[in-house]
Structure 1
Amino acid sequence: MDLTGPQLCYNYTSNVIGPGELKTFKCPASIEGRFVRITKHTVASTALRLCEVIVEVNADTCTILDLALNKSATQSTTYDDGKDHAGDAWRSVDGNLDPNMPVGQSCSHTDQVGHQWWQVDLVRYYHITQVSIQNRDVVPHRLGNVSVEVSETNNFDIHSEFYDAKLCHYYEASDVPASTLLILPCSDNIVGRYIRISKFVPILYDVLSFCEVIVEGGDPSCIQGTTGITATTTVTENTTDEQTDTTDSPEITSTTISLPSTCPCSCRGSIEKYYNRSIESLLDELREELMVSKKETASYTRTLVSVDDGRTSSRNIGYVGIVLLVAVGLSIVVPDVVSLAMYMKGK
């Protein structure tokens, strides 16, 4: 496409955009280009001041640039100073990137030492490609040493850690520059519904606080290759000339489960051995695993202990034992017999 001149994306004619407001302008679908310019037309000599410009390209089901916007968010604890500066979790997904918490009232803030976390529910599963976090204009160290995890379920242990967490990114620096939008790309093929940002806070007054979380991703089907699991089944029903019982289940003659070449599942390694095999072979293997060996039962062990041991060494040990018992008995009885005989002779 030959571009002979600039193409107008949007002409915003209102006088002002509110403090801390994120304004979105939609361009015509036919516009293509490399450079984006924002121009201010005014008679007065006023400056053009911006804090962040986000350009969305090819926004479709595979490239969704703010999955977390206005979604349900929670956190481990919530700070409240009683002056309308409450650090509720939802304030970090309200679309307001204002880094000034007292003024913009748009930052989340926990209120306790220990394992601190913030979490958003995306409602459905997405392929997560990137998570961006807007830092505050003060105390920037509160966003240091954070982990971004993705989970398919909201199940966690007694330490409030996800059971099935997949690490998107670990930011190990001690802090983030003030008012910076920290961009954290995820590793490949991460699919999930819940996004959690967490850190361990070892000292008092070092909490988890930030002003906006932007989650980018798309539909799981956009991952290169097939992400689903397919099964092919051949079913044959038994039919005869006589009337058949309609309650009988069909006879499954062949079933094979196939694992795709590309799969984002974290459990792939543990279940891969069950794919590309028939159900019949899996059932046979299960029967063998459930079968109890006769030699492992208590009754067999008792019988084994009670049977005769025919080995020569065993018989010899038995004979020696008998001789020793007889010798001990004679050593006790013979002296008494001799004494009794001498007594009777003296009379």
Structure 2
Amino acid sequence: MNLSDFYKSLFLLGFFSVQTNAGEGVKIATWGSVDQSTTLIGWHAQNALDGVNSTCSHTELQSNAWWKLDLMKTYSVNRVTITNRYSCCSDRINGAEIRIGNVSSNVFSNPVCAVVSTIPAGATYSYPCHGMKGRYVTVDIPGPSQQHLTLCEVEVYEEGVMKQADLVFWENNGFTIVLFSQKTFVKMKPETRVQLLSQVRL
């Protein structure tokens, strides 16, 4: 596409929405901020969101260890995926709870989406949350026993609908919606008809 065709493809018309594959949803974990109950030196909470399976978050040995993601606003969560540590200690994740809710001060008071029975070393498992609503997504190891919580990657998927696009343009194989701020891309079929904005709310 040359520059002339690109500018011809931009329109200043109404609003529109884009529905993604309902089985996948939109990745939203990196839109938020993270914290954990304690931090073993160098094993920061942010490591679970860096896209690298070999770097992990890691608490100190403690009871009721937790990792918390603040999504900054309430979302309907489709599913959560967790990647377990591959190098050792894969059984540390056994019994972990995934919680979703709007309570920040007491992470154990939010509803449970799923309980992790086991995840093999280095594997990624997906846990459906069926549209549970919440601002906070936590993973915790409940109980009085002293344990480490280690997470090598966590991903959170919102149900279906994208939130904002900064620029929309036409490609030969369909519309491509480019979210520069979120670095998210969705392609639409050529026969799809939409109204476009330079700043689009979905």
When normalised by structure 1's length, the TM-score is 0.38
Q: Which residue of 2 is the match for residue 185 of structure 1?
A: 128
AA paired with 2:85?
R
Mapped partners of 1:194, 1:219: distance in 2: 19
Q: How far apart are 1:59 and its partner, in Å?
A: 3.4
Question: Counterpart of 2:64 in 1: which secondary structure?
Answer: strand
Confirm or deny that 1:176 pairs with 2:107.
no
Q: How far apart are 1:211 and its partner, in Å?
A: 0.6
AA paired with 2:152?
C
Confirm or deny that 1:207 pairs with 2:152.
no
Question: Counterpart of 1:114 in 2: which secondary structure?
Answer: coil
* Contact in 2 for aligned 1:150/1:191 (Cα 8 Å): yes
* Contact in 2 for aligned 1:132/1:183 (Cα 8 Å): yes
Q: Which residue of 2 is the match for residue 145 of structure 1?
A: 95
Q: Which residue of 1 is the match for residue 33 of structure 2?
A: 72
**Percent identity between the aligned chains?**
26
Q: Which residue of 2 is the match for residue 194 of structure 1?
A: 136
AA paired with 1:182?
Y
Question: Counterpart of 1:92 in 2: which secondary structure?
Answer: helix
Residues 177/62 of structure 1: CA separation in 2 closer, same or farther (3 Å cut): closer
Question: Counterpart of 1:87 in 2: which secondary structure?
Answer: coil
Mapped partners of 1:62, 1:170: distance in 2: 20
Mapped partners of 2:31, 2:38: distance in 1: 20
Q: Residue 91 of structure 1 is aligned with which of 47, 54, 59?
A: 47
Q: How far apart are 1:95 and its partner, in Å?
A: 1.8
* Contact in 2 for aligned 1:191/1:220 (Cα 8 Å): no
Q: How far apart are 1:140 and its partner, in Å?
A: 0.2
AA paired with 2:108?
E
Q: Which residue of 2 is the match for residue 240 of structure 1?
A: none
Mapped partners of 2:67, 2:56: distance in 1: 12
Q: How far apart are 1:202 and its partner, in Å?
A: 4.8
Residues 177/196 of structure 1: CA separation in 2 closer, same or farther (3 Å cut): same
Q: How far apart are 1:155 and its partner, in Å?
A: 3.2
Unmatched 5+ stretches in structure 1: 1-57, 81-85, 99-105, 222-347
Mapped partners of 1:72, 1:62: distance in 2: 25
Mapped partners of 1:220, 1:125: distance in 2: 14
* Contact in 2 for aligned 1:71/1:93 (Cα 8 Å): no
Q: Which has the higher contact order (CA 8 A, sep 6+)?
A: 2
* Contact in 1 for aligned 2:98/2:112 (Cα 8 Å): yes
Aligned 1:295-314 pairs, distance under 5 A: none
Aligned length: 144
Supply the RMSD in Å over aligned alpha carbons: 2.7
Residues 198/189 of structure 1: CA separation in 2 closer, same or farther (3 Å cut): same
Aligned 1:1-347 pairs, distance under 5 A: 59=20, 64-69=25-30, 71-80=32-41, 86-98=42-54, 106-137=55-86, 138-156=88-106, 161-162=108-109, 165-171=110-116, 173=117, 175-186=118-129, 188-200=130-142, 202-204=144-146, 206-218=147-159
When normalised by structure 2's length, the TM-score is 0.63
From the two aligned structures, give the one with the greater helix fraction: 1
Q: How far apart are 1:153 and its partner, in Å?
A: 3.4
